[in-house]
Structure 1
Amino acid sequence: MKKILFLLAILSVGITQANNGKKDRTPEQIASIQSKKMTLVLDLDSKQQSQVEKLLLVEAKDRKSNKMKREDREKLTEEQRFTKSEAALEKKIAMKREMKSILNADQYAKWEKMMAKRSKGKKRGGKHRKGQDEKRGNRN
């Protein structure tokens, strides 16, 4: 019994530290990891990887500086929500244009599919929801 409690304690500490590690990443770390993942998936050359990393770094810094608490978001007026939504869409358009200038046609098509899949996952509730669909056999 003591061994089981000890193992549970170790697991819970490990899980807590792993979750905290994700939240404490700097924009530089986020951009580096994302660019490396994209390099693996899209087969980017070194020049493309550095350009993508710079672009992702700007995006990560912007995201971190604009992060709001849930309570603050709920206090926004309709006009403020509209302005934030419009600004977010402008940033997405700019990102898409930049990626199109960096990637070749095949890479760009693959990147768009990745983004569409990612967006679809967020709309359905993210990874948790996706896992539930797979358990039920509802694969897309």
Structure 2
Amino acid sequence: MKNTVKIVVVMLLFSTAINAQNRSNRRADFTPEQQATLQTKKMTLNFDLDENQQKSIYKMMLKNTEERKAKRQNGRTQTQEERFEFENTRLDRQLAHKEEIKNILTAEQFEKWEKLAKRKGRSGKKGMKNARTNGNSTCTFQKLQNTLKKRNKF
């Protein structure tokens, strides 16, 4: 019985390690132009943008993605002051982004955009955690490990 449990635990560890490696390769590394095009098309589908709006959104998204990519390449460990400055400028950029979107979209489109942005913001990290663990706060392996510890068989 002990050997069977040990084999199951080892198999779970290997399968977890293999799955973790595959996840990192799923995300494609798009160019800023490709990212801007995809984001513009998504917004066109959601908000029924006209040609002028599409061009304006594309330019804005391209500028934002290029800035993000440049900042990501300059990444290094930050002091507390640098982190505060980063968060402060990030929030300023978000406000400017919202204002630009408001100038491009109609009132009805902007209202719909705000609703989607709020829903997207709510899901955030908690939403991803719930998606990975099916709404549970602990994963199956941790439950198995805790059960085995309680039985003194691990």
Q: TM-score, normalised on structure 1?
A: 0.72
1:61-140 map, 5 Å: 61-67=66-72, 72=76, 75-126=77-128, 129-130=130-131, 132-133=134-135
Q: Which of 29, 35, 43 is matched with 1:38 structurally?
A: 43
Other structure's SS at 1:67 match: helix
Structure 1 CA distance, aligned partners of 2:103 and 2:74?
34
Structure 1 CA distance, aligned partners of 2:71 and 2:113?
25
Structure 2 CA distance, aligned partners of 1:35 and 1:88?
21
Using the TM superposition, give the Cα deviation of residue 69 of structure 1 relative to its aligned residue in structure 2, in angstroms.
8.4
Asked if 1:25 corresponds to 2:20, the answer is no
**For residues 31-58 of structure 1, what are the alpha-carbon distances to aligned partners after superposition, in whole Å with 9 as ceiling and x for unaligned?**
0001001101101011101101111111
**Structure 1: 5+ residue runs without aligned partners?**
1-11, 134-140
Instruction: Name the larger-Rg structure.
Output: 2
Other structure's SS at 1:25 match: coil
Q: TM-score, normalised on structure 2?
A: 0.66
Runs (4 or more) in structure 1 with deviation over 2 Å come to 128-133
Other structure's SS at 1:124 match: helix
Give me the CA root mean square deviation: 2.6
Using the TM superposition, give the Cα deviation of residue 129 of structure 1 relative to its aligned residue in structure 2, in angstroms.
2.3
Structure 2 CA distance, aligned partners of 1:63 and 1:57?
10
Counterpart residue type for residue 129 of structure 1:
N
Structure 2 CA distance, aligned partners of 1:52 and 1:44?
9
Asked if 1:53 corresponds to 2:58, the answer is yes
The number of aligned residues is 115
Residue identity over aligned pairs, in percent, reads 35
